[in-house]
Structure 1
Amino acid sequence: MQSVHRSPSGDLDPDVVREYLDDALAYARSEDYAGWDPYDGLNSPVLEPFARNWFTRLVCMHGVHKFPANLRPLLGIEKERNAKGTALFATAQLDAYEKTGDESYLEEAESLLEWLWENRSIQADNNAWGYNFDWQNSNKFFLPEYFPSIVASVFVAQAFVRHYDITGEERSLEVADGTARFIMEEINRVQVREFETFAYTPYDDYVVVNANALGASLLAVVGDRTDNEAYGERADEVMAFVLDVQDEKGAWYYSEPSDGSRLSHDNFHTGFVLESIHDYLEVRPDETLQAAYDKGMAFYRAELFDEGGAPRFESDKRYPRDVHASAQAIRSFVKDGSPESLALAADIFEWAIENLFDESDGHFYRRRGRVLSDKTPYMRWNQGWMCYALGTIVNRLD
């Protein structure tokens, strides 16, 4: 039987997807784009007295994160806007506007972009953003709320680049250029063999592969838009590192060195790396990196999804099946555009709607576990990412 979510040919139907996008965006607007986050446990005034070192912070943060019920109302954790999530919503609206011409999407996107501009991290000299909660990254580093990171800053800057590309608004390109300067001047650099890599923040020396790919991609794209070859050359250097740490299967570990990585070949971080390479190659073509991208994409399709589009958490671990993995994969595969990728994107969309979507109010669940599932309506992790993915479908498919 033909799915109601697809066209008669079996492809994704952008008109149907737009209806889901509108419902999901309406839910987010009804909450003023504010919500809980999987990692916001340290925002609890109840737990604050106990979170005094890296170990107790991890216990508090992951205790809230992994508890089978949502403890946040009891712990006094308020719903808030998250800069990265807000950027995802803005990008989804911009994608829908570019395809449909509906000015209401543009108005909403520009309102969110203005909020992002007004809520830059005051701890940075250039344009940068952080999370709205204290965050302990294993025992590697502690990042206080609103202190900037490369990943959060890149996603926000990408939204401003998107606005520039669609509207020609020079101010948006200037904002993104400020983030490129933040990456060039303020993010710590770590020597890994012959490569000068990026750390995760201005305050640590933790080398995360997807963060390097994201940073290189933004530098390449902003360098292309501003004719700044220094950005492009630095992007080349960092992408050479990303290429070097790809393994023989075409996969990437989360961090370098790989034997200290807390994840093996996980789903959505693999998607981050591949999308970053894709965007880099659009402005700085390279045959060797293109071959690495194709090999990585083949691994992604073959090893990180089960039959019917269900996302594996890691290549050797099926569960939990996470909404973030579904969303990033849809975006990566639709941007890739190959027949194999588009077919899998359609399966993943179908699986996500059937397993993670609440039609009563338009919100998405976080994940399905082997035994327990998490239906907490996280605004960034669930809603922002799925809107981001659905906007990509609406924008890029006919």
Structure 2
Amino acid sequence: MNKLIIVDAFLRLKSYCESQQFRGWDPYDGLNSRLFQAMPFSGYRFPRLAWIQLFKRSPINLRQFVGVSKEYNAKGIGLFLHGYCNLYKKEPREEYLNRIKELADIVLELQSKGYSGACWGYNFDWQARAFFQPKGTPTVVATTFVASALMEAYLVTKKLDYLEVAIDTQHFILKDLNRTYDDDGDFSFSYSPLDHTQVYNASLLGSRLLSQIYTYTGITELLEAAKKSVSFACKHQQKNGAWAYGTLPFHQWIDNFHTGYNLECIAAYQCHSGDDCFNEAVDKGLAYYLENFFTNEGIPKYYNNQTYPVDVHTTSQLIITLSRLGKWTENKEQIEKVLSWTIANMQDKRGFFYYQLKKTGNSKIPYMRWAQAWMFYAFSEYFLQERDINLTNM
């Protein structure tokens, strides 16, 4: 693939995100609607579910008509922050350093308060089938991506505040999240303090964060908890290497990017702990991932058993997963085929990436967290791996 095309695609994306000051809409932000909040049924589960799905599935962006504003999303800011840290590693430019400090300060301001440790949630009420999350409720997912980015920001800036806040998240993970134990004493972390669901990727993100913090603190309790939660997830891996989303009856789908999360997190635990006892799970999972989620033409599939919808997050996670697993060289052809297809079919002339392509009714809404932040982060991982690319001279 022509590297100039990749660099041009990234620079157009970067220009768009900076022009929006990293604020935007989200697929799940429908409950921020001032119109919906004024309705008498806004406090009930089914209307909330239906309203969110209407906004998530509609090819037309209804938000500007019902009072949903563009806002910061903590997880999205974390992804941008990590991306700029990667860019600084690639080329230590003052522009990147200034952005790192700006984004780190923003995300510190977005912390959820009143919990045992530093933590972050989403900027909207969120009704899932299994539970309801009020705006600002911290989740292990948002917290992990923000804390990981703050650790990277510390490595670049040497500002201890960033590292101290990231380390403090251990108390949220260990004290505020619920646990579901199996007969062996292994367990799954809950998604948030308000639920008891067992979602494998969410629990594994907690495992990853604890193992990352261990490298700075040497606290063995962190590794012990991380290993038990990794073990729980690996026991639920299917014989063919796949994972369902979770344990509930309506969590039995198998999808692309959550599989990528699982692989990345288990590999991170092994890297930080030196414990390689989950190698087989990673190898089986990676083989399943590469064989079932991408077509020969380079189309990234959302689910294992159907092509549509095509979601831009699946492309970004392929790049990140293979970069983090150290599997870049042997899979470079597939990476560039998928990235080339995505740029050609899912990037708007204004620079942003579309959310999803479907058989009918494509969603081309420029979601900031879901699409732009993930692709920005993925491009930065791509540039770290491709050492011959010099962004300054292109």
Range 209-218 or range 334-343, more displaced: 334-343
**Aligned residue runs from structure 1 range 268-347, under 5 A:** 268-338=257-327, 339-347=329-337
Is 1:380 aligned to 2:369, yes or no? yes
1:207-226 equivalence runs, <5 A: 207-226=198-217
| Correspondence for 1:395 among 368, 371, 384 | 384
Tell me the TM-score normalized by structure 1.
Answer: 0.92
Q: Which residue of 2 aligns with 1:368?
A: 357
Stretches (4+) displaced over 4 A: none
Q: Is the contact made by 1:123 and 1:148 (CA closer than 8 Å) also made in structure 2?
A: no
- Relative distance call for 1:263 and 1:39 in structure 2 (3 A) is farther
Match of 1:72 among 59, 63, 66: 63
* Maintained 8 Å contact 2:116/2:171: no
Tell me whether 88-97 or 278-287 shows the greater mean CA deviation: 278-287
CA contact (8 A) 1:253 1:261 kept: no
Give the AA of the match of 1:185. Answer: K
| 1:334–1:345 contact (8 Å) kept in structure 2 | no
The Cα shift of 1:96 comes to 0.4
The structure 2 residue matched to 1:32, chosen from 17, 21, 37, is 21
SS at match of 2:180: strand
What is residue 345 of structure 2 aligned with on the other side? 355
Alignment CA distance shift 1:294-1:167 (3 Å): farther
1:72-91 alignment runs, 5 A limit:
72-91=63-82
Change (3 A) 1:272 1:165: same
Alignment coverage as a number of residue pairs: 383
TM-fit CA distance, 1:78: 0.7
* 8 Å contact kept, 1:334–1:341: no
CA contact (8 A) 1:27 1:361 kept: yes
State whether residues 116 and 175 of structure 2, in contact with CA within 8 Å, keep that contact through their aligned partners in structure 1.
no
Which residue of structure 1 lines up, in the alignment, with residue 32 of structure 2?
A: 43
Amino acid at match of 1:111: E
Three-state SS of the structure 1 residue aligned to 2:146 is helix
TM-superposed CA distance for 1:250, in Å, is 0.6
Distance, in Å, in 2 between the alignment partners of 1:110 and 1:16 is 29
1:263 Cα deviation after fit: 4.5
For the 8 Å contact 1:224–1:232, the answer to whether it is kept is no
Q: 2:161 aligns with which of 127, 149, 171?
A: 171
Letter paired with 1:333? L
Shift of 1:82: 0.4
Asked if the contact 1:333–1:344 (Cα under 8 Å) also holds between the matched residues in 2, the reply is no
More deviation, 182-191/283-292: 283-292
Deviations 1:53-102 (A, max 9, x none): 21111011111111231111111111111000011111111100011111
1:115 & 1:224 partners in 2: Cα distance?
25
For the Cα contact (< 8 Å) 1:333–1:342, is it kept in 2?
no
* Cα distance per residue 1:331-382 (max 9 Å; x no partner): 1122233333332211121111111112x32111111111221100111111
1:197 corresponds to:
188
* Partner secondary structure for residue 77 of structure 1: coil
Aligned equivalents of 2:189, 2:342: Cα separation in 1: 34
Q: Is the 8 A contact 1:254 1:261 kept in 2?
A: no
Give 2:310's aligned amino acid. R
Matched-pair contact (CA < 8 Å) for 1:17–1:394: no
Unaligned runs of 5+ in 1: 6-14
Question: Which whole-Å CA distance do the structure 2 matches of 1:224 and 1:85 have between them?
Answer: 25
CA contact (8 A) 1:275 1:332 kept: yes
Aligned: 1:4 with 2:17: no
Partner Cα distance (2:183, 2:131) in 1: 22
Cα deviation 1:8-50 (Å, max 9, x = unaligned):
xxxxxxx764443332122111111111100111011111223
Alignment of 1:232-247 (within 5 A): 232-247=223-238
Q: Displacement, 1:272?
A: 0.7
Q: In 2, are the aligned partners of 1:126 and 1:181 still within 8 Å (CA)?
A: yes
In structure 1, the residue matched to 2:133 is 143
Give the CA deviation at 1:305: 0.8
Q: Is the 8 A contact 1:18 1:391 kept in 2?
A: no
- Amino acid in the other structure paired with 2:142: A
Q: Distance in 2 between matches of 1:161 and 1:240?
A: 25
1:364 match: secondary structure: coil
The answer for unaligned runs of 5 or more in structure 2 is: 388-394
For the residues of structure 2 that align with 1:229 and 1:368, how far apart are their CA atoms?
A: 45
Supply the distance in 2 between the matched residues of 1:66 and 1:156 (Cα, whole angstroms): 27
The answer on whether the counterparts of 2:59 and 2:365 sit within 8 Å (CA) in structure 1 is no
CA distance in 2, matches of 1:388, 1:133: 23
Alignment partner, residue 9 of structure 1: none
Match of 2:102 among 107, 111, 120: 111
Equivalents in 2 of 1:327, 1:217: separation in Å?
19
Does 99-108 or 277-286 show the bigger shift? 277-286
% identical aligned pairs = 35
Moved more, 80-89 or 195-204: 195-204
SS of the aligned residue for 2:364 comes to coil
Secondary structure in 2 matching 1:190: strand
Q: How many angstroms does 1:176 deviate by? A: 1.0
